Amino acid sequence: MPIDKDNTGCARFTSMEASTASDWAIIQREYEIYGRTLPDRILEHLQLLRGESGGFAVDRLTHVLQTATRAHRDGRDEEYVVCALLHDIGDTLGTYNHAEVAAAVLQPFVSAANHWMVEKHGIFQGYYFFHHIGMNRDMREMFRGHPHFAQAEEFCARYDGPAFDPQGETLPLDFFEPMVRRVYAQPKQSLYGPALEQSLRQPQHPLRG
């Protein structure tokens, strides 16, 4: 395996323009290792939702667990359930665009329909409360006719909207952890994923044992 001159195992360059193929062999190796720990970071980040209620009757973690629980009990597949679990993970850093943040976290690993559902759920959820805060509850109508409209509408009506119940069934995060790990095991679409996979298939590639 090519390594840098001082034998630290790290690529050494001061600008991207000065990087070499040997440098990027090292970086790709680390990229693959780091990528495998993504489910750990997702699960750890979900814990940041614990204890913060935002004025609701349950905290944000309970809300997403209830949403995922309802979807699971309704027989939804694992990818859908994981989307339900992560739909508000953007609350921590995306205070003003949480749905888009969650959708970005999920996008490489889920179908276009599930991605769109998460990305637009904030607008669809608004049907139930926008009129109470001076906004247009029918904002979702701008998407009427979209092929995934019904799915987003159903997600909010059946799972997201009712999941603020202090007495509601709330399966623990540990229950969903294996699902998260399976969904995040391999990206379905990514700018970087195909290049890495192709390089790993090369018989003499330095990342191959």
Of the ranges 28-32, 175-179, 204-208, the best mean pLDDT one: 175-179
Residues 42-92 have pLDDT tens digits of 999 999 999 999 999 999 999 999 999 999 999 999 999 999 999 999 999
> pTM for the full model?
0.88
Cα 65 to Cα 88: distance, rounded to the nearest angstrom: 10
Angle subtended at Cα 130 by Cα 51 and Cα 85, rounded to the nearest 5 degrees: 40
Report the amino acid identity of residue 32: E
What the block records as the tokens of 190 is 């990514």
Residues sharing a CB contact under 8 Å with residue 61, sequence separation 6 or more, in sequence order? 46, 47, 49, 50, 51, 173
Q: What is the fold, at CATH topology level, of the domain defined by 53-183?
A: Hypothetical protein af1432 (1.10.3210)
